Chains A and B, each alone.
Chain A
Amino acid sequence: MDNTTKKFFSSPWRSLGFFLMVLITMIWLLPFATALLTSVRTNDDILEQGFIAIPHEWTLGNFRTAWERGGLSRYLPNSFYITIPALLGTLLLSSLSAYALARFQFRGNRLLFFLYVGGTMLPFQVLMLPVFRLTDALGLYDKQLGLIIFHTAFQLGFCTFLLRNYMRTVPGEILEAARIDGCKEFRIWWQIMMPLTLPAIAALATLEFTWIFNDYLWSIVLLRTDALKPVTAGLATLQGQYVMDWTVIVAGALIATIPTVLLFIFLQRYFIEGLTLGATK
């Protein structure tokens, strides 16, 4: 124990507080522990002995079942096919609109800004049926492309809002200097503004990846064919297939979380930044 730690625990109140914190944290992590322990046991073992028991055998078979027969080997790649294009599309397009809103005075600037901000708070349900009808009319229903376009468009609101506020903090002199040097606006955006905005884009990208990847509602509204579904909708199908076998369902759920958990572990700072950027300036 180093000195500051020793000093911390010298107060009994603080020690008690610390103990409480440990207790709450353990309760908070309980679902994770439950899931991990469940996934490496057999269903029979749990039925026979109850959940709280030392298992007779350990197995990785549930993961294999979920992956192969449960279809996660299809659903998980689908999630990437949908998330990556939507993520790139929304980041690129929102940085265009954010640049216009942040750097130009023109009629309707404020109005457009509020249109974007207001849209971020919209309950998805308001859009559901018209968007369903629109994808159908455009021949995009039950195609991943329809889902990609919708995510791109819907996330524009939040991304434009954040990037616009961030771009406003970039000193105008830098852009002015480039303008005097005869730089075209489009090049200023791409070669000067974009690199300067990278920290915000990184934060936004981690957050948006998680959101789009974790979407469930839109994938069941806009897709019908099981082979096209992302992992969230796939898990719901899996749940229906293996009603009695929770070990497989839970193993599937754990596989489904791997991408976002990895992202969180490596890019935690950006993730948290993204979260707070949205709600507080």
Chain B
Amino acid sequence: MKNNRVKNITPYLFLIVPLILYLIWVIGPMIYTFYLSLTKWDGLSAPTFVGLRNYERLFRDPVFFISLKNNVKWILSFITIPVTLGLGLAIALNHSIPGAKFFKASFYSPLVLSLVVCGLIWSWMYHPAGGLINSFLRGIGLGSLAKGWLSDENLVMWAIILVAIWRQAGYVMVLYLAGLQGVDPQLIDASKVDGCNSWQTFRNVIFPLLTPVTVIVIVISIIDSLRAFDLVSVMTRGGPYNSSSVLANFMYIEAFNNYKMGYSAAISVIIFLISAVFIFIYLWRIMQDEMEY
């Protein structure tokens, strides 16, 4: 009897320290943000309750809509280009190509760099006068194509997204390579026997089997797009004229440069609400796996 009771509280003893830490520093703050978004707060004095005023202002703020639109661009690029590229590379490198190891390492090497470092190196490559890209264009006689990649309002967002894609493709490739390990080679052989060509085998056998990976990759890509901050902060701070502003950067500037923390909290709540849909899809996927146990 006594032994049973000891066993009943054992898991809680293991959980108590990490769980308290997690509740105080992660779950609690998440909930508290909702409250802060209903207040006026400069970061020093106590927040004062103002109801939905921050949201009313937010929906009239043009910078909010520019940022939102840029996040949508980011998401759309992220769920198409790196995913296709990563999948293609994974399929190609899953075969025994000479040097496959080197190729793989090359593609995921950007992942070990911090986004700050990526942002700095690419800022230099984009540099209007001395940068590699413009120098190259001038060198091959296409000087007219040389641009101020980070100072042109129409180009800057794409220039930053390209850096993010450069870093992301290798990650997607790694995930698909792991997924391909789980594809039974007999199924592929069987489809070949049935007369499928390579494309048909991919389309009808391999790709459907990779669906779980694809779901995870897309969810991760969307969440990563929504929390994108470092590259924009290092490369442009959202400029010129907010043309490369994204929600995370907009939120940071409102909080720590303009000391409008209540307003900033409202932006973060919007980021959260958009993410919540995808976090839910992710949890639902994990739950399906759980049911298999």
Seen from chain A, the residues whose Cβ lies within 8 Å of a Cβ on chain B are 4-5, 8, 17-18, 21, 24-25, 28-32, 34-35, 38, 46-47, 50-52, 93-94, 96-97, 99-101, 103-104, 106, 109-110, 112, 114-119, 121-134, 149-150, 152-154, 156-157, 160, 168, 185, 189, 210, 213-217, 220-221, 232, 235-236, 239, 246, 249-250, 253, 256-257, 260-261, 263-264, 268, 271-272, 275-276, 279-281
Cα of A250 to Cα of B117 in the assembled complex, Å: 8
In Å, the complex CA distance between A46 and B135 comes to 11
Query: Are B283 and A118 neighbours in the complex by a CB distance under 8 Å?
Result: yes
Closest partner residue, chain B, to A122 (CB atom): B30
Nearest residue (CB) in A for B106 is A25
Supply 19 A–B pairs (Cβ within 8 Å), ascending by A.
A8-B96, A21-B103, A47-B129, A50-B130, A51-B130, A96-B15, A100-B11, A118-B283, A119-B22, A121-B275, A126-B269, A129-B36, A130-B36, A168-B293, A214-B116, A235-B116, A236-B234, A272-B174, A279-B217
Q: A128: which B residues are within 8 A, CB to CB?
A: 251-252, 255, 268
Main DSSP-derived SS at the B contact region: helix
Q: Write the B170-199 contact mask toward A (1 if CB under 8 angstroms, else 0).
A: 010011011100100000000000000000
Which of B55-63, B150-158, B221-229 participates in binding chain A? B221-229
Please, which residues of chain B bring their CB within 8 A of the CB of A220?
Answer: 256
Q: How far is the CA of A133 from the CA of B41 in the complex (A)?
A: 11
Q: How far, in angstroms, from A281 to B179 measured CA to CA in the complex?
A: 10
Which A residues are in CB contact (< 8 Å) with B98? 5, 8, 18
B166 at interface, CB cutoff 8 A: yes
Complex Cα gap A256–B230 (Å): 16
B92 partner residues in chain A, CB cutoff 8 A: 17, 21
Interface residues of B (CB under 8 A from A): 8, 10-12, 14-15, 17-19, 21-22, 24-30, 32-33, 36, 43, 89, 92-93, 96-98, 102-103, 105-118, 120-122, 124-125, 127, 129-132, 135-136, 138-139, 166, 171, 174-175, 177-179, 182, 212-213, 216-217, 219-220, 223, 226-227, 229-230, 233-234, 247-248, 251-252, 255-256, 261, 264-265, 267-269, 271-272, 275, 278-279, 282-283, 286-287, 289-290, 293
Known: A106-B11, A117-B286, A154-B25. A257 touches B113 (CB 8 A): yes
Are the CB atoms of B223 and A121 closer together than 8 Å?
yes
Report the minimum CB–CB distance from A18 to chain B (whole Å): 7
* A268 to B102 alpha-carbon distance, docked (Å): 12
Once bound together, how far apart are the Cα atoms of A116 and B23, in whole Å? 10
Assess the B17–A121 pair: CB atoms within 8 A. Answer: no
Q: In terms of DSSP, what is the predominant structure of the interface of chain A?
A: helix
Partner of A28 from the list B107, B112, B136, B267 (CB cut-off 8 Å) is: B107
The contact of A261 among B112, B212, B213, B234, by CB within 8 Å, is B112
Q: Are A253 and B120 in contact (CB under 8 A)?
A: yes
Q: Which residues of B contact A30 (CB under 8 A)?
A: 125, 132
CB-defined contacts of A217 to chain B, threshold 8 Å: 229-230, 252
Q: Are A123 and B116 in contact, CB atoms less than 8 angstroms apart?
A: no
- A187 → chain B, closest Cβ, in Å? 12
B124 contacts A279, CB within 8 Å?
Answer: no
Give A110 to B283 CA distance when docked, in angstroms.
12
Please, which residue of chain A has its CB at the minimum distance from the CB of B124? A246
> Other CB < 8 Å A-B pairs besides A28-B106, A214-B116, A276-B175, 17 of them?
A21-B103, A31-B110, A51-B135, A94-B18, A115-B27, A117-B283, A117-B286, A122-B30, A128-B251, A156-B22, A157-B22, A168-B293, A215-B114, A217-B230, A250-B121, A250-B124, A279-B216
Contact B117 A134 (CB under 8 A): no
Q: Are A235 and B117 in contact (CB under 8 A)?
A: yes
Instruction: Write the nearest CB–CB distance from B175 to chain A, whole angstroms.
Output: 5
Name A252's closest neighbour in chain B (CB-CB).
B120
Q: Does A122 lie within 8 Å of B233, measured CB to CB?
A: no
The reply to whether A268 and B105 contact each other, CB–CB distance below 8 Å, is yes
* CB-based contact A253/B178 at 8 Å: no
**A264-B109 contact, Cβ under 8 Å, with A123-B268, A125-B227:** yes
CB-CB under 8 A from A253, the residues of chain B are 116-117, 120-121
A123 to B43, CA, bound (A): 21
Q: Which residue of chain B is the closest to A249 with respect to CB atoms?
A: B120
* Contact of B18 with A121 in the complex, beta carbons under 8 Å: no
Partner of A154, one of B26, B127, B271: B26
* In contact, A160 and B116 (Cβ under 8 angstroms): no
Name the distance in Å between B151's Cβ and chain A's nearest Cβ.
14
State in angstroms the CA–CA spacing of A18 and B73 once bound together.
Answer: 32
List A contacts of B105 (CB < 8 A): 268
Query: What's the Cα separation between A60 and B138 when bound, in Å?
Result: 28
Q: Is the CB of B116 within 8 A of A236?
A: yes
Q: Is the CB of A4 within 8 A of B96?
A: yes
B-side contacts of A154, CB under 8 Å: 25-26
Q: Which residues of B contact A5 (CB under 8 A)?
A: 98
Q: Is the CB of B14 within 8 A of A256?
A: no
Give min CB distance, B132 to chain A, whole Å.
5
Question: Which residues of chain B are within 8 angstroms of A114 by Cβ–Cβ distance?
Answer: 283, 286-287
Do A134 and B29 have beta carbons less than 8 Å apart?
Answer: yes
Which residues of B are found within 8 Å of A185, using beta-carbon distances? Answer: 10, 14
A202 CA to B208 CA, complexed, in Å: 32
B15 with A31: CB separation less than 8 A: no
